[in-house]
Amino acid sequence: MDPHSRSPIATHDRLDGAALGELTRWAAQRGLYTPTLHTLDGRPPARVTLSLVSDADLSDLFAAWTSEAHRLLEQEAAVAARRGELVLAVKRVHARAAQRARAAGGKPTAAMVADACALDPDVMRAEDSLTHLESVAAFITRQKQAADLHLTLLSREITQRVSLKNARIL
């Protein structure tokens, strides 16, 4: 990933030379995707000694991790949309390669057509793009799980502090 970008999708788009796609532009125009959110530097701190964090800072930390979870959900949605586009593109490129193999002459067997498709540079590029995007999707999923764990931890700490304060009042 580009160290200057928080967006694995932006890296993918530079690698395959394709724009993120019409669906993401459509979503951004309707406020469903926030491209500027994915170019910000830094993430909330992952390791914090919660006993040393003030109540106000704990609230800020919870807000920062909530924002991070939101950012990752947007990324996940954009990757899922792009994956649909790439799956269709792979099928089309594969079909064109099969058609070229059959048109090359003779009577190719199904295995010969499959081999020709597997070795076709266009098919290989399309499949490489899809494979890369699936790796990005797996990465985002794990990052989202990590953000959810941080939110759970922070929520429990907030609940514990509120309970302790209420116990002192009673």
> Containing H/E element for 158?
helix 121-169
**Distance between CA atoms of residues 61 and 150, nearest Å:** 10
How much is the pLDDT for 135?
87
Q: Which residues of the chain have pLDDT under 50?
A: 1-19
- pLDDT on residue 6: 43
Distance CA 127, CA 133 (A): 10
pLDDT, tens digit, for every residue of 94-103?
A: 898 888 888 8
